[in-house]
Amino acid sequence: MLLDTVDITIVVAYAIFIIVIAQYVSREKAGHAKNTQDYFLASKTLPWWAIGASLIAANISAEQIIGMSGSGFVIGLAIASYEWMAAITLLIVGRYFLPIFLENKIYSMPQFLEKRYDGRVRLIMAIFWLGLYIFVNLTSILWLGALAVNTITGIEISMALVLLGTLAVAYSIYGGLKAVALTDIIQVTLLVFGGLMVSSIALSQVGGEAGVWGGFVELTNRLPEKFDMILEASSPHYKDLPGISVLVGGMWMMNLSYWGFNQYVIQRALAAKDIHEARKGIVFASFLKILMPLIVVLPGIAAALLVPALDAPDQAYPEMMKLLPIGVKGLVFAALIAAILSSLGSMMNSISTIFTMDIYRAMRTEASEEKLVMTGRIVAFCSMIIAIVIARPLLGNFPQAFQFIQEFTGFFTPGIVVIFLLGLFWKGATADSALVAGIGSFLLSIVFRQYWPELPFIDRVGIVFVLCGILAVALSILRPNQKADNTIETEDVDYSVKTSFVIGSICVTAIVSALYIIWW
């Protein structure tokens, strides 16, 4: 067990503190009962700092902290492409996608699909996302979080599953998105502080008297291969990060799908009071994404020098935690718990939003606002119970849960991006073409995986995206009579941006470009 009594006391105090704060920020004025906009969209009053922090808190969880540190241990800085390219993707989402969503008062991604295409597309995709979020994302986050708790504290995994699930329910189920988003600034602050502490102490161990900067220089000198951002074809890790195609290929599809069309992530931007507040939050999140590799990748690289004989790469981050003094170790573990709870709370809220607003309300059109909110809470609770029950049977024998997430979602990612891009920017796209793109994405991905197994995963995503796009466009042209409902308004959408967004975007792009140039 890595934690002392002082550390455990800090973790318990933090858990109680964040639950109390979540209930406090979720309170309503006397006489006002929560409605669906309050519960699922935080009353559409989220400030920019809450949006930006919540985007990152929802994204960073055990699989990023533990998994990407493990990837840093094995591969090196190249794995940071997931973070740095996401920073640019967020700017694209804020510049071009969010104005359409907010102008049309979208509260869920399935709702957009019905307004743009038809009810068939909405229902099919709502069911797909529910299955994905419950059986893949929520379960994986919970399982990886439990593994991390087990590694650091020695608590049995089944007990860790129950503890994390209980904390997540207590933290988020009453207040909904407002409880999650308004406390995420605390979660992210602790996450950044704790992560930087781990990195700085690990680098100090490497550098000795030369300190943190000396440790970083020593790492680059002794492990230069760990600082190659673009891997050569001869690299043993080329299949995971296939060289230049990382920058120009399928990773764009993965990022656009995750940051632009994923209810789990985009919901907090949809809860902004206006487009300019949402964009400020997007820029804030982009800067945080640039910082993330210092927190989740650098400790793994340091571990490759300090403890090179690990049994498994995912032990890298816990090993670096051992270097922390008593008390600080408790704060860092609390930061890990914060990341897990925020991701679990966000996922539960997105599951309840899609089921309640896209499926239940369609069947119970007369349901009151109070009934819909109660349904959302029940669904969130039930989704966590399901995740706790199936986590070990589903993922207990899977060698890499993070790989499980990527592999499963990668079957559908190309089709989802095609459906949304055509729906947003081409009026000629039909509902039938959307269905063909979605089904074709899955079938083509299976074929490529079966008959071209050596094809890198990222390249497969890019190729399937192109093929699905061709299929969807061709079908829309060949069968133009199959019109989509298309009640989405795009003519009056204001794409203009404030100077602050332009300056922020230039800074983010310049920093990311410089990082790639330095470590090409």
Indicate whether 291 and 183 sit together in one domain: yes
pLDDT mean over 386-404: 74
Q: Does 320 have pLDDT greater than 80? A: yes
pLDDT mean over 340-350: 88
154-210 pLDDT, tens digit per residue, is 889 999 999 999 999 988 887 787 777 878 888 888 888 888 999 999 999 998 888
With respect to residue 224, please indicate whether it lies within any of the assigned structural domains: yes
| C-alpha–C-alpha distance, residues 293 and 68, integer Å | 9
**Is residue 277 within 8 Å of residue 51, measured between CB atoms?**
yes
Collapsing DSSP states into helix, strand and coil, what is residue 364?
coil
With respect to residue 312, please indicate whether it lies within any of the assigned structural domains: yes
pLDDT band at 415 (very low <50, low <70, confident <90, very high): very high
Cα dist from 385 to 163, 331, 356, 382, whole Å: 12, 28, 18, 5
Q: Which of 334, 365, 400 is where one domain is finished?
A: 400
Collapsing DSSP states into helix, strand and coil, what is residue 272?
strand
With respect to residue 147, please indicate whether it lies within any of the assigned structural domains: yes
**Is residue 251 within 8 Å of residue 63, measured between CB atoms?**
no
Indicate whether 369 and 261 sit together in one domain: yes
With respect to residue 249, please indicate whether it lies within any of the assigned structural domains: yes
Q: What is the pLDDT of residue 330?
A: 87
- Give Cα 358 to chain centroid, integer Å: 22
Q: What is the pLDDT of residue 94?
A: 94
Q: Does 419 have pLDDT greater than 90? A: yes
Q: Which of 365, 400, 435 is where one domain is finished?
A: 400
Q: Which of 400, 422, 438 is where one domain is finished?
A: 400
9-33 pLDDT, tens digit per residue, is 988 898 888 888 888 877 766 656 6
With respect to residue 35, please indicate whether it lies within any of the assigned structural domains: no
Indicate whether 303 and 420 sit together in one domain: no
**Is residue 300 within 8 Å of residue 317, measured between CB atoms?**
yes
Indicate whether 368 and 256 sit together in one domain: yes
Indicate whether 294 and 207 sit together in one domain: yes
CATH number for the domain spanning 119: value is 1.20.1730.10
Residue-averaged pLDDT of the chain? 87
Q: Does 384 have pLDDT greater than 80? A: yes
Q: Does 34 have pLDDT greater than 80? A: no
Indicate whether 418 and 308 sit together in one domain: no
Q: What is the pLDDT of residue 19?
A: 86
Cα dist from 6 to 12, 53, 226, 327, 329, whole Å: 10, 28, 36, 6, 9
* Number of domains into which the chain is organized: 2
With respect to residue 65, please indicate whether it lies within any of the assigned structural domains: yes
427-464 pLDDT, tens digit per residue, is 889 999 999 999 999 999 999 988 998 898 889 999 99
418, HSE (Cβ side, Cα atoms, 13 Å):
34
The string of DSSP codes covering 11-57 is: HHHHHHHHHHHHHHHT---TT----HHHHHHGGG-B-HHHHHHHHHH
Q: Does 399 have pLDDT greater than 80? A: no
| C-alpha–C-alpha distance, residues 293 and 69, integer Å | 9
Indicate whether 116 and 261 sit together in one domain: yes
93-103 pLDDT, tens digit per residue, is 999 999 999 98
Indicate whether 396 and 425 sit together in one domain: no
Q: What is the pLDDT of residue 208?
A: 86
Q: What is the pLDDT of residue 402?
A: 56
pLDDT mean over 255-274: 89
Q: Based on the number of CB atoms within 10 Å of its own CB, is 452 exposed (0-12), middle (13-18) or buried (19 or more)?
A: exposed
| C-alpha–C-alpha distance, residues 129 and 123, integer Å | 10
124-147 pLDDT, tens digit per residue, is 999 999 998 998 889 988 988 888
| C-alpha–C-alpha distance, residues 414 and 436, integer Å | 12
Indicate whether 177 and 260 sit together in one domain: yes
| C-alpha–C-alpha distance, residues 398 and 349, integer Å | 27
Indicate whether 248 and 306 sit together in one domain: yes
Q: What is the pLDDT of residue 481?
A: 66
Helix axes 211-222, 177-207, angle to 10 degrees: 80
Cα dist from 178 to 98, 169, 272, 349, whole Å: 20, 14, 11, 10
pLDDT band at 87 (very low <50, low <70, confident <90, very high): very high
Q: Does 486 have pLDDT greater than 80? A: no
Q: Token pair 């492990």 is at which residue?
A: 223
With respect to residue 166, please indicate whether it lies within any of the assigned structural domains: yes
**Burial per residue of 345-381, b for 16 or more beta-carbon CB atoms within 10 angstroms, e otherwise:** bbbbbbbbbbbbbbbbbeeeeeeeeeebbebbbebbe
Indicate whether 189 and 170 sit together in one domain: yes
pLDDT band at 493 (very low <50, low <70, confident <90, very high): confident
Q: Does 63 have pLDDT greater than 90? A: no
pLDDT mean over 476-481: 85
Please state, as a whole number, how many other Cβ atoms lie within 10 Å of the Cβ of residue 404: 18
With respect to residue 26, please indicate whether it lies within any of the assigned structural domains: no
Q: Does 401 have pLDDT greater than 60? A: no
197-240 pLDDT, tens digit per residue, is 999 999 999 988 888 999 999 999 999 989 989 988 888 888 88
Indicate whether 60 and 170 sit together in one domain: yes
- Domain range for residue 483? 411-487
Q: What size, in residues, is the chain?
A: 520
CA angle, 463 as apex, 459 and 467 as ends, to 5°?
A: 170
